[in-house]
């Protein structure tokens, strides 16, 4: 090839861009399988959720148009709107706690990153992301049991008065489930933050130290801004985890005691498939979807800025 | 000296976090070794480890059948999802078909949508398709739900490969299929392995679709079957724990074998997101 590489590169890019749109049209065929699968099994069912939500239907008989009545029920029936409130509580445990704890942990661990044990620890911290949450739920159910490990430790240290069946107690069941979410997410966030800290320019830390910044000042001036992107990623992943907390709640409490841990996912399945209130279940699903989009999409935009 | 101190503190935090992560697993394992039907207190190692609990859980949970069911679902999902994502990524990231930006945005929207939002219609759809209570009831929707991340990931991979490489092949008279096969695929093998692993995890660990769309627990994913097992054996804590350990084992094994790849995969996927 006699053409100098630089010029050849430029010419071919021009050639590619310049290829008329019409000639690129057949390539839409490549996209077809993915588009069909996505449209048939994601987009179309979503439109059906919206359609069902406007009817009173038991899943078998005749559906009766009821307009917005199901939505009115969602916002007025405490067992339904409280499930949405529970989601907010779970967001604190699934997102806020792991991100905060992960930031603190990563700041400390930063100085020990080079140690060989750090690699093994990274593997361990990832475990909750790998195993089925349903299996982890069984372990935690047992930890929380009346005669489980947590109460055993409390009694052993003379704090037996605090012991209780954590998942059967109206006041503690929801935080107890939430804590499992924190447990599942904190390792992921920490590992992500550690990778992010590794990409922060080391000279920034040096500069901060030369300026006599304390550890806390350094954290707020260098680490936190440097991890902006990673924090947004963690927030997105953990928020989706909190909103889709079906596995944990279904396995650990089924929404009980009473409705104290009921979340929209479990409620949707219960309403539609046990109670035969398909329209109401769908209305709750639509509200859940809107909440997801309202919470997560702004985060995504934030992540793309700059 | 100061640095040594900081390093020690960091290591301490790391060890404490690792322990906190491991405790539930260790407790589950130790509990599984206690006499069947007992409720052992906490950490205590049993006087005599009852390894046979694993054998009982293996039989009672129909482990072999379950492994087959899970494998069927994974094999139905992953190759198709990988192929569709690759072809779609090629169209959006390399060829840049007309309208690729809006098409891509529609796919991106799907990244955030939970199964809960569509589980009710998916049930009636499976009923209409006649797939209810068969592996297909889970396989088909899963392929669809894996598309947003698959397209997002593969589009990025194709876009990162210099256009000059493919253009040179085109000038030599290669067709699009040949370019994809001989220029792109060899370069994309690591990215495909990564995506395949993530898709395997999603399919294997799927819970909601599995328990709603497949009535017979032995035809579900392992995670889904665990729900039914819990319903039947909730009083026998050691047996429950043994079953949970068993059903976790396959994913753990795959993870430990490929762990370096996994961590990289999840991190890469997350950071680029």
Which of A149-153, B146-150, B223-227 is predicted most confidently? Answer: B146-150
Chain A residues with beta carbon closer than 8 angstroms to that of B106? 43
pLDDT(B13) > 70? yes
Q: What part of A 76-105 touches B (C-beta under 8 Å)?
A: 105
The lowest-confidence range among A13-17, A73-77, A258-262, B32-36 is A13-17
pLDDT(B251) > 70? yes
More confident residue, A178 or B174: A178
pLDDT on residue A183: 94
Q: Once rounded to an integer, what is the mean pLDDT over residues A100-104?
A: 93
Q: Tell me how close the Cα of A189 comes to any Cα of chain B, in angstroms.
A: 10
pLDDT tens-place string over residues B145-202: 999 999 999 998 898 888 888 888 888 888 888 888 888 888 888 889 888 988 998 8
pLDDT on residue B2: 62
Which pLDDT band holds residue A285 (cuts at 50, 70, 90)? very high
In this complex, do B116 and A13 lie within 8 Å of one another by their Cβ atoms?
Answer: no
Determine what percent of chain B is predicted with pLDDT higher than 70: 94
Chain A residues with beta carbon closer than 8 angstroms to that of B151? 34
For testing contact with chain A, the best of B89, B98, B117 (most A CBs within 10 A): B117
pLDDT on residue B77: 96
More confident residue, B80 or B11: B80
In this complex, do B21 and A112 lie within 8 Å of one another by their Cβ atoms?
Answer: no
pLDDT on residue A4: 42
Q: Once rounded to an integer, what is the mean pLDDT over residues B18-31?
A: 89
pLDDT tens-place string over residues B104-138: 999 988 988 999 999 999 999 999 999 999 999 99
Considering only alpha carbons, which residue of chain A is nearest residue B115? A244
Phi/psi for B40 (5° steps) reads: -65, 145
User: A-B interface: how many C-beta pairs under 8 angstroms?
Assistant: 323
CATH topology of domain B62-233: MetI-like fold (1.10.3720)
pLDDT(A13) > 80? no
Which pLDDT band holds residue B237 (cuts at 50, 70, 90)? confident
pLDDT(B216) > 50? yes
- Least CB-CB distance to A246: which of B18, B208, B222? B208
Determine what percent of chain A is predicted with pLDDT higher than 90: 33
Q: Once rounded to an integer, what is the mean pLDDT over residues A174-194?
A: 92
Chain A residues with beta carbon closer than 8 angstroms to that of B3? 111
Q: What part of B 75-134 touches A (C-beta under 8 Å)?
A: 80, 83-85, 87-88, 90-92, 95-98, 103, 106-108, 110, 112-125
Q: Which residues 6+ apart lie within 8 Å of B135 measured at CB?
A: B69, B72, B73, B76, B214, B219
Q: What part of A 219-258 touches B (C-beta under 8 Å)?
A: 229-230, 233-234, 236-237, 240, 243-244, 246-247, 250-251
Which pLDDT band holds residue A132 (cuts at 50, 70, 90)? confident
> Three-state SS string across chain B, please?
CHHHHHHHHHHHHHHHHHHHHHHHHHHHHHHCCCCCCCCCCCCCCCCCCCCHHHHHHHHHCCHHHHHHHHHHHHHHHHHHHHHHHHHHHHHHHHHCCCCHHHHHHHHHHHHHCCHHHCHHHHHHHHHHHCCCCCCHHHHHHHHHHHHHHHHHHHHHHHHHCCHHHHHHHHHCCCCHHHHHHHHHHHHHHHHHHHHHHHHHHHHHCCCHHHHHHCCCHHHCCHHHHHHHHHHHHCCCHHHHHHHHHHHHHHHHHHHHHCHHHHHHHHHHHHHHC
Q: Tell me how close the Cα of A127 comes to any Cα of chain B, in angstroms.
A: 8
State chain B's mean pLDDT as an integer: 86
pLDDT tens-place string over residues A72-97: 988 998 888 899 999 999 999 999 99
pLDDT on residue A9: 40
A136–B contact, CB cutoff 8 A: yes
B33–A contact, CB cutoff 8 A: no
pLDDT(A5) > 90? no
More confident residue, B35 or A11: B35
pLDDT tens-place string over residues A206-250: 898 888 888 888 889 899 998 988 898 889 889 888 887 899 999
A199–B contact, CB cutoff 8 A: no
The residues of chain B that CATH labels 1.10.3720.10 are 62-233
Determine what percent of chain A is predicted with pLDDT higher than 70: 90
More confident residue, A303 or A43: A43
Enter the pTM of the model: 0.88
Which pLDDT band holds residue A1 (cuts at 50, 70, 90)? very low
Which pLDDT band holds residue A10 (cuts at 50, 70, 90)? very low
State chain A's mean pLDDT as an integer: 85
- Least CB-CB distance to B21: which of A43, A108, A187? A187
Write down all domains in chain A, each with its CATH number in brackets.
78-261 (1.10.3720.10)
Q: Once rounded to an integer, what is the mean pLDDT over residues A172-181?
A: 94
Chain A residues with beta carbon closer than 8 angstroms to that of B227? 134, 250-251
pLDDT on residue B235: 73
In this complex, do A42 and B118 lie within 8 Å of one another by their Cβ atoms?
Answer: yes
| ipTM of this complex prediction, to 2 decimal places | 0.89
pLDDT(B255) > 50? yes
Cα–Cα distance between B221 and B81 in angstroms, integer? 18
DSSP of chain A: --S-HHHHHHHHHHHHHHS-HHHHGGGHHHHHHHHHHHIIIIIHHHHHHHHHTTEE--SSS--EE-TTHHHHHHHH-HHHHHHHHHHHHHHIIIIIHHHHHHHHHHHHHGGGTTSTHHHHHHHHHHHHHHS-HHHHHHHHHHHHSTTSHHHHHHHHTT-GGG---TTTSTTTHHHHHHHHHHHHHHHHHHHHHHHHHHHS-HHHHHHHHHTT--HHHHIIIIIHHHTHHHHHHHHHHHHHHHHT-HHHHHHHTTT-STTTT--HHHHHHHHHHTS--HHHHHHHHHHHHHHHHHHHHHHHHHHH--
pLDDT(B228) > 90? no
Considering only alpha carbons, which residue of chain B is nearest residue A37? B144
pLDDT on residue B270: 58
Chain A residues with beta carbon closer than 8 angstroms to that of B148? 38, 42
pLDDT on residue A101: 93
More confident residue, B49 or B18: B18
Q: Are strands A64-65 and A55-56 parallel, antiparallel or unpaired?
A: antiparallel
pLDDT on residue A115: 64
Chain B residues with beta carbon closer than 8 angstroms to that of A242? none
Q: Once rounded to an integer, what is the mean pLDDT over residues A264-268?
A: 93
pLDDT(A14) > 60? no
Cα–Cα distance between B145 and A41 in angstroms, integer? 7
Chain A residues with beta carbon closer than 8 angstroms to that of B138? none
pLDDT on residue A162: 85
């Amino acid at each position: 090839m006699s053409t100098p590489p630089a010029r050849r590169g430029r010419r071919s890019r021009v050639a590619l861009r310049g290829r008329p749109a019409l000639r690129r049209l057949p390539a839409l065929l490549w996209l077809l399988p993915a588009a069909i699968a996505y449209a048939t099994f994601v987009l179309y069912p979503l439109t059906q959720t919206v359609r069902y939500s406007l009817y009173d239907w038991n899943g078998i008989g005749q559906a009766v148009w009821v307009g917005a009545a199901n939505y009115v029920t969602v916002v007025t029936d405490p067992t339904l709107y409280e499930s949405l409130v529970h989601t907010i509580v779970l967001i604190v445990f699934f997102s806020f706690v792991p991100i905060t704890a992960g930031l603190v942990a990563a700041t400390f661990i930063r100085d020990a990153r080079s140690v060989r044990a750090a690699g093994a620890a990274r593997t361990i911290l990832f475990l909750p992301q790998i195993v089925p949450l349903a299996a982890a739920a069984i372990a935690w159910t047992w930890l929380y049991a009346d005669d489980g490990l947590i109460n055993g430790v409390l009694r052993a240290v003379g704090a037996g008065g605090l012991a209780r069946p954590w998942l059967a107690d109206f006041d503690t069941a929801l935080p107890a489930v939430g804590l499992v979410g924190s447990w599942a997410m904190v390792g992921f966030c920490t590992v992500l933050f550690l990778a992010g800290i590794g990409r922060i320019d080391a000279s920034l830390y040096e500069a901060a130290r030369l300026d006599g910044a304390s550890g806390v000042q350094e954290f707020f001036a260098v680490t936190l801004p440097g991890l902006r992107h990673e924090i947004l990623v963690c927030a997105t992943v953990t928020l989706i985890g909190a909103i889709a907390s079906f596995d944990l709640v279904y396995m650990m409490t089924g929404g009980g005691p009473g409705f104290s841990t009921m979340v929209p996912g479990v409620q949707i399945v219960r309403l539609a498939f046990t109670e035969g209130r398909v329209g109401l279940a769908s209305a709750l699903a639509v509200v859940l979807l809107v909440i997801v989009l309202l919470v997560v999409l702004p985060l995504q935009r934030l992540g793309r800025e700059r | 000296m100061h640095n040594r101190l900081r390093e020690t503190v960091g290591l301490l935090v790391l060890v404490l976090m690792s322990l906190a992560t491991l405790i539930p697993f260790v407790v589950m394992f130790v509990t599984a070794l206690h006499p069947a039907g007992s409720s052992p207190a906490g950490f205590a190692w049993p006087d005599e480890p009852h390894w046979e609990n694993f054998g009982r859980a293996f039989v009672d949970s129909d482990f072999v059948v379950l492994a087959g069911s899970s494998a069927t679902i994974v094999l139905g999902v992953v190759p198709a999802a990988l192929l569709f994502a690759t072809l779609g990524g090629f169209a959006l990231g390399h060829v840049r078909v007309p309208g690729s930006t809006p098409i891509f945005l529609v796919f991106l929207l799907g990244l955030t949508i939970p199964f809960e939002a569509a589980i009710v219609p998916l049930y009636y759809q499976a009923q209409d398709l006649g797939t209810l209570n068969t592996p297909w009831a889970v396989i088909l929707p899963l392929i669809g739900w894996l598309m947003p991340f698959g397209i997002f990931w593969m589009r990025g991979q194709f876009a990162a490969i210099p256009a000059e490489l493919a253009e040179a092949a085109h000038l030599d008279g290669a067709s699009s299929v040949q370019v994809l096969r001989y220029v792109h695929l060899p370069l994309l093998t690591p990215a495909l392995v990564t995506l395949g692993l993530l898709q395997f995890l999603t399919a294997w660990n799927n819970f909601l679709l599995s328990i709603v769309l497949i009535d017979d627990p032995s035809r579900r994913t392992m995670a889904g079957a665990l729900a039914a097992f819990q319903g039947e054996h909730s009083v026998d804590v050691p047996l429950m724990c043994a079953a949970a350990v068993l059903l976790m084992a396959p994913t753990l094994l795959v993870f430990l074998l490929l762990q370096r790849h996994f961590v990289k995969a999840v991190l890469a996927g997350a950071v680029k997101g």
